[in-house]
Structure 1
């Protein structure tokens, strides 16, 4: 049986409208080439967007978006007009994420007041980094050493502690995250006795009994008066930790680290102030 060709998603009228739009854009001739090619001015859309739509910009596609957003967007695209329930659920999901982010910003602003007794803590684990960073073809078939970096940021005094360890020493589960948190809180980076921790809603790392046990120990032993743990929506949050990770990745792309000590140096080199990062090898 011969297979049938699937109908085109675009009609002839759609293609005609696209061609009319393309032909309406002013062109200019190349100064260096005599080929019969026409070039659009690079400032054409830039000028229009800047003058008529100053709040519109372009960004690279995100690679760590929310799983629920992906699911609902797929349902909306596949079901068409029957996707009203999914559209409403997606809107509600975004509103909840925005409410959580607004509450976090309110806590941060409160912690930075002169007479505040509150310290806001942000915590996130960076994507796994591998060494050595080599580019020859054999590296695609070889195992590399995984390196983990956990950022714990204190928003009341703008200090960040980077906890760095290797896969040969420990993994990246709840026990390891709790150990890092306990060590950093005992370092005395913030001397306030009331903590609000904002963390991504990942069960394996941040939503487990080990984190709760650490909080119970710190409060019962008199280190802190209160510790409140609040969750952000996974894939919907953008913390100061993410900005720190972006600085680290920017430096890492330039130096191609080969050994773990190179990554440790990259972390130290990624700050614009001497007192921002407090490096800590945890294990």
Structure 2
């Protein structure tokens, strides 16, 4: 049979009255000699967790996935390979032997639910489910999908009408607003900047864009020290905009936003707009219209793109330690 004599003798010696091997199975109970040291694993985890992460904007209620901030990468294409390179640099500074990229990748994938790409607009759940469904499932989803597309077309048609009216009627303003993805400061193109900064602060930025010429735009920014990103902050900014930025000859304002319940579509913002129309003397009517969930592209998104582009191309000239 090719077995060693010692193995056969051991099997005969440890059999019971039924002729079965009675000793316990010791396979898999020995620590492998090439097992990664626990201290090295903890150091790698600490490195992975040091990168800022962001939540998805539209599906945070249903998704546990978090997105790594790609702005820390020199070429704006952060990856596990790039993170491992930064990890090795960090190990060199601390006189630690780094683990291999394979081990780094395994720990990253098994212990964290992170992704490297957060789309500017999360995918529409209804459209995604319909497109991925089998033919028989599409028959069940067809009515909901058709109604969804009809609402999408109706929303964009309504916004186009309000935009056209705003270009002709000087007493009417059509405005889009949206909260930008969180910004981290300090920020720069130098990968090592992250390790030298003493404090990382999250910045929130609500952008307001008037769709008619001359397309006036406003950025209202605050740090996590000053406030959160909920309905109270959004409402306060909207009231400030309506009371100080809207000219006195404007009597009607139409606001467009996405359907994010925690920020825009809630009773607190609605109450704020009622308060505004009652207390700002020249405003007779304020409307707040919502685009269909998953299809909320607005003119204000161009502001976010411009800010991200400018930030990506900014250089760091000094880096105090």
Structure 2 length normalisation: TM-score?
A: 0.55
Contact 1:119/1:190, CA 8 A, preserved across alignment: no
Residue-by-residue CA offset, 1:10-51 (whole Å, 9 max, x unaligned): xxxxxxxxxxxxxxxxxxxxxxxxxxxxxxxxxxxxxxxxxx
Query: SS state of the match for residue 147, structure 1?
Result: strand
Contact 2:229/2:263, CA 8 A, preserved across alignment: yes
Match of 2:145 among 87, 90, 100: 90
Counterparts of 2:193 and 2:127, CA distance in 1: 33
Match of 1:120 among 136, 161, 174: 174
2:245 is equivalent to residue 188 of structure 1: yes
Contact 1:111/1:156, CA 8 A, preserved across alignment: yes
2:254 is equivalent to residue 200 of structure 1: no
Q: Which runs of 5+ in 2 are unaligned?
A: 1-116
Deviation at 1:122, TM superposition (A): 0.9
Q: Any residues of structure 2 matched to 1:26-45 within 5 Å, and which?
A: none
Q: Any residues of structure 2 matched to 1:109-148 within 5 Å, and which?
A: 109-113=164-168, 115-133=169-187, 134-136=190-192, 139=195, 144-148=200-204
Contact 1:147/1:167, CA 8 A, preserved across alignment: yes
Deviation at 1:257, TM superposition (A): 7.0
2:275 is equivalent to residue 220 of structure 1: no
Structure 1 length normalisation: TM-score?
A: 0.61
Q: Any residues of structure 2 matched to 1:1-283 within 5 Å, and which?
A: 62=119, 64-69=121-126, 72-73=129-130, 76-113=131-168, 115-133=169-187, 134-136=190-192, 139=195, 144-157=200-213, 158-191=215-248, 192-221=250-279, 222-255=281-314
Residue-by-residue CA offset, 1:121-156 (whole Å, 9 max, x unaligned): 1111111111222523965xx983111111111223
How many residues of Structure 1 are paired with residues of Structure 2 in the alignment?
196
Contact 2:127/2:145, CA 8 A, preserved across alignment: no
Deviation at 1:116, TM superposition (A): 4.3
Residue-by-residue CA offset, 1:251-274 (whole Å, 9 max, x unaligned): 11011579xxxxxxxxxxxxxxxx
Counterparts of 2:223 and 2:145, CA distance in 1: 38
Instruction: Check 1:128–1:256 CA distance in 2 against 1; reply closer, same or farther (3 A cut).
Output: farther
Max Rg structure: 2
Instruction: Check 1:70–1:63 CA distance in 2 against 1; reply closer, same or farther (3 A cut).
Output: farther
Contact 1:131/1:257, CA 8 A, preserved across alignment: no
Query: SS state of the match for residue 227, structure 1?
Result: strand
| Structure with greater proportional strand content | 1
